[in-house]
Amino acid sequence: MSFIQIGFILIVACIVSILSRWQGLPYSVGLVASGIILALIKLPMDLVLTHDLLFNILLPPLIFEAAMQLNWSAFRNNLPVTLTLAFLGVFLAGIVVVLGMHIIVDWSWFDAILFGTLIVATDPISVIATFKEMKVESRLRLLVESESLLNDGVVAVVFAVLISMSRDGTGFNFDEITLSFLKMIFGGVITGGLITIGVLLLSRYAKDQFVEITLTIIAAYGSFLTAEYFHMSGIIASLTAGLIVGNADYSEFISKTGRDYIAPFWEYIVFLVNSTVFLLIGLHEADRMAQLLSITVIIAVILVFIGRSVTVYSICALFSGSSLKIDIRHQHILVWGGLRGALPLALALIIPDSFSEKQNIITATFAVVAFSIFVQGLTMSQLIKILRLKPDSE
C-alpha cells in the first residue's frame, strides 16, 4: 500500500466519520457505502484486499486493543458463558450452516464445512460503538466483546486445521486434530504471555512514553506473528497480550506519562485499521454486486442467522438457573449483534484454488458481511430502544 493510498484512506475516513456522526449512522456502514460508491465511479485507486493484509497487518491491532479494554475480573467471572459460546457455539452454528449448504445448495461436505467454520466468526465493531453511545449495560458489552474475541480465536484455529488436512491429504484423524487444536490454542496463550511479560519487564527501564508505546506494538504484532510462524494461534497470542497489557499494574511497569498515551494511541490505530478494513470491504463488495442477490447467497445469509439464533438461545438456556443467567433482552442483542467482518473475509481469501466452490464461498462471505453491516448494524440502535435496555448509569 503506497503513501498516496494511505493518504486517500485517511481523507475518506475523516470525511465519512464527520458525515456519519452528523447523520447518526454507524461509522462502519458509512465506510462500506463509500467504498462501494468509489468502486462504482471507477476511481483509479488500486486498493487490493488480500489475506496477508487483512490477517497479518490489520487484524492484530484490532484483537490486541479490544483485549486491552476488557476488565480481567469481569472477563474471568463471565468466562463460563463466553467460553461455551465460543467453543460449543462455533460447533452449533457451524453445523446449521454446513448441513444447509450441503443439503440445500448441494455444496460438497468439505466446501460446506470450510464456509460453515469461517462464517461463524463475529466482529461487533459497529455494535460496540452503538453500545458506547447509548451507554448500554457493561455486562452486555463485555459478553459481546469477549465472546467475539474467543470466537475468532477458535474459528481461526479450526479453519487452519481444516486447511492443513486438505493440503496434507491426511483425512480425518481425531487424535491428530485434537493435538493440533490444543497446540494452537495453548501455544498461542504461552507465546503471547511470554512475549508480553518480557516487554513489560523491559518497559520498567524505558521511562519514555514513545518507547513504551513502541513496546506495546511489539507485544501486539510480536505475539501474533511469532505464534503464526510456529503454527500456533496468532489471534489467541494477541488476545493474551492485550489482556496482560490492559490489566497489568501500570504503576510498576509503565511511566505515568506513558499511561496517558497508550490507550489513546491504540484507539487511534484501531480507527485507522477499521477505516481501511471497511473501505476495502466496500470497494470489493461493488465487484460482486450482481452475485450478492443469488439464491445461494440468500440461503447462506438465512442459515448464518438461524445458526446464530440456535447458538445463543440454546447456550443461554444452559445458564438460566445460575448466577450467570443472561437476560432474554440481552440474548436478542447477542443474536442480532453477531456481525461479521474482517476475519471471515481473510479466511475465505486463503482457501486453496483446488476447492471447486472457492469463488462461491468468497461471494457468500462478502454477502453475509454486507448484510450484517447494512441491516444488523443499521438497526441495532432501534433494537436497543425497543427492548428498553437501561443505560449503564442506571
pLDDT digits (tens, 9 = 90+) for 337-362: 888 888 999 999 889 888 888 999 99
Predicted local confidence at residue 21, as pLDDT: 80
pLDDT at 394 over 50: no
Residue 8 lies in a domain: no
- Lowest mean pLDDT of 52-61, 208-217, 277-286, 337-346, name the range: 277-286
Task: Give the separation between CA 280 and CA 330, rounded to whole angstroms.
Answer: 31
Residue 31 lies in a domain: no
Confidence of residue 165 (pLDDT cuts 50, 70, 90): confident
Which range is most confident: 139-148, 189-198, 385-394?
189-198
- pTM of the full structure: 0.88
Residue 16 lies in a domain: no
Residue 23 lies in a domain: no
Q: Which residues contact 149 (CB under 8 A, 6 or more apart)?
A: 63, 66, 67, 70, 235, 239
Residue 123 lies in a domain: yes
pLDDT at 301 over 90: yes
Residue 221 lies in a domain: yes
Task: Give the separation between CA 353 and CA 374, rounded to whole angstroms.
Answer: 30
The pLDDT mean for the chain works out to 88
Query: Average pLDDT in the 85-106 region?
Result: 95
Residue 64 lies in a domain: yes
Residue 17 lies in a domain: no
Top-confidence residue, 265 or 12: 265
- Lowest mean pLDDT of 47-56, 90-99, 197-206, name the range: 47-56
Q: What is the CATH number of the domain that holds 312?
A: 1.20.1530.20
- Domain count of the chain? 1
Confidence of residue 323 (pLDDT cuts 50, 70, 90): very high
Q: Which residues contact 184 (CB under 8 A, 6 or more apart)?
A: 157, 160, 161, 231, 232, 233, 236
Domain, as residue range, for 268? 49-386
